[in-house]
Structure 1
Amino acid sequence: MTRMDIKLSQCFVAVDDHDQALAFYRDVLGMEVRNDVGFEGMRWVTVGSPSQPDVDIVLEPPLADPNASPADRQAVAELLAKGLLRGVIFQTDDCDATFERIRAAGGEVLQEPMDQPYGVRDCAFRDPSGNMLRFTQSRKR
């Protein structure tokens, strides 16, 4: 059997304010803006790390489905506001420096840098919409 070559292309992060999210992901995290599209009253902004040109993070409206009911939209917006939707884990060469840069820019700290038993040093923040973002650094064993 031939092995398939599958790679991550895009991931989606729900945001409730694209301008705030864009300022955070672009200006604080250093992501480049790759696309900014509006459709049917909604907006999608694609950002990504300059060092990973083939991986996109799409900042999308909560429950970006035009057929979703108002009740479902409200439920997802409430989960987002509580920070209960899944986040993104980024890899960094220097967890402590990354932490200081994001904290100095006003990032909401969830966890200061610490060594984890599973072999990484990491820290965590919330983005302006409440999503958890972790920044991990591999520890040399």
Structure 2
Amino acid sequence: MKKKENISLKNKFNCYIYEKNMLLISPQECQIGINNNQIEIIDIRELYEFEIANISSKHIPMADFTARISELDLTKKTVLMCRSGKRAEALANLITTEGLINEIFVMNGGILAWIETVDTSLKLD
């Protein structure tokens, strides 16, 4: 039963991939927000990806996000992050379309952009 729910959820995410109405935020802006305690980064990558390299973020895999939405600190700006930004864009569109959170941001370029512009010491391989 659980597998069927994940497949259904994955199909729902795929419907939102090409929508482009999300709010983007740069990795540099994210770093400033983290330092000022104004941003909560949610890393939606799979556990194995998160274990390879991660930043100051909460890990909630994409497939678990809607079930764990109560774990978010909505007093802060919520920013979704994945590897390149594509999964985060799809999830952000789902969240806003379904009305789950009023304002959600996507880290433009994901952890790849973070590594390029903020912390070149991180490695994904």
TM-score (norm 2): 0.27
Higher helix share goes to which structure? 2
Highest relative contact order (Cα 8 Å, sep 6+), 1 or 2?
2
TM-score (norm 1): 0.25
Rg comparison, structure with higher value: 1
